[in-house]
Amino acid sequence: MSILNRTRPLPFLVTTELPCPYLTARMERKVVTELSGPAAADTYETLSRAGFRRSHGIAYRPACRGCQACVPVRVVAGEYDPGRTLRRIERRNEDLRSAVRPARATQEQYRLFSRYLEHRHSDGEMLGMNLQEYGAMIETSPLDTRIVELRAPSGTLMACCLTDWTKDGVSAVYSFFDPDLPARSLGSYVVVWLIREAQRWGLPYVYLGYWVEGSRKMEYKSRFRPIELYGPDGWQRAAL
C-alpha cells in the first residue's frame, strides 16, 4: 500500500491488533507510515487532510476490522461559533497566561502529565511513562511541532498541549492539564485557545484527532462548532 511522494512511493504498514482504548470488547489496528527526510512536512500536509494523525515520527490512521467508529474531526476556526458553555469557559480562564514554546520536555511538564494520567486515564497505555519516554513523545517530530503552556497568574503550570503546525491549521497532538480543577474545564479551554490562535494567524482549521460515538473520552469534541468530519466523500460539516 502506498501513495506517490514526489519521487518515490510512500510505504504503509498495518499494525497488529490490540484492545481498543475507546470501545470495550473491540480491537484496534492502524495503518502507519514513517515521516522522515526533507519531504516529511509536505507528506504530512497531504496525510493530515486525509484523516491521518502523528505520533513521534509516524503518521497513522485507524484501520480496524469491521469498525469505522473513529472519525477524523476538525473545527472551522474562522467561523467558530461558541455556545453559552464555551463562552463561560473562556471567561473563566481569561486570567491564564499562554506561551508557545519549542517542543522541549521539562520536569515541570512531566509532573503535570503524570498527575493527569493518574487521575484521568488510570487504565490507559501511557500510564507509567517515565521522563525519558515523555521526552521522546514531546521532542521526536520531523514537523513544526510546538508545546503550548498555560499558566496561572502565580506562574503555576495549569495545562499543556503538544501541537503540530501546518499550512492549513494547527493539530492538537496531545493535551494534559491539572486534574484537580474541574470547574475550569481546562481540556475544553485548550481547544478554545487553539481556535483563537488559529484565527489570529489566519489558519482555517484546528484538527482534534478522532471522534468516537459512544466514547465518553470524546464527548467534549461535540461542543465545538462548526465541525467537519472526514468520510468517504472527504471533509463534510456535521453535527455530532
> Can you give the residue ranges of every domain in the chain?
13-70, 72-100+146-238
The predicted pLDDT at position 82 comes to 96
The predicted pLDDT at position 123 comes to 61
- Contacts for 208 with CB less than 8 Å, ≥ 6 apart: 73, 74, 75, 172, 191, 221, 224
Per-residue CA distances from 77 to 35, 185, 191 (Å): 27, 20, 11
Give 159-182 pLDDT, tens digit per residue. 999 999 999 999 999 999 999 999
The three three-digit cell numbers of residue 190, written as one number: 485548550
- Fold exhibited by the domain 72-100+146-238: Aminopeptidase (3.40.630)
Give 79-137 pLDDT, tens digit per residue. 999 999 999 999 999 999 999 999 999 999 999 999 999 987 656 567 789 999 999 99
Looking at the predicted structure, is the pLDDT value of residue 56 above 80?
A: yes
The three three-digit cell numbers of residue 37, written as one number: 527526510
Question: Considering the entire predicted model, what is its pTM?
Answer: 0.92
Cα–Cα distance measured from residue 47 to residue 44, given in angstroms and rounded to the nearest whole number? 5
The predicted pLDDT at position 1 comes to 42
Give 188-223 pLDDT, tens digit per residue. 999 999 999 999 999 999 999 999 988 888 889 999
Cα–Cα distance measured from residue 202 to residue 167, given in angstroms and rounded to the nearest whole number? 10
Cα–Cα distance measured from residue 126 to residue 211, given in angstroms and rounded to the nearest whole number? 19
Long-range pairs for 173-180: beta carbons < 8 A, 24 or more residues apart: 173/53, 173/54, 173/55, 173/145, 174/137, 176/112, 176/113, 176/116, 176/117, 177/112, 177/116, 177/150, 178/112, 178/115, 178/116, 179/115, 179/116, 179/118, 179/119, 179/120, 180/119
Prior bond of 226 cis (ω within 30°): yes
Cα–Cα distance measured from residue 161 to residue 149, given in angstroms and rounded to the nearest whole number? 7
204 secondary structure, DSSP code: -
H helix runs in 67-185, sequence order: 84-92, 107-120, 131-139
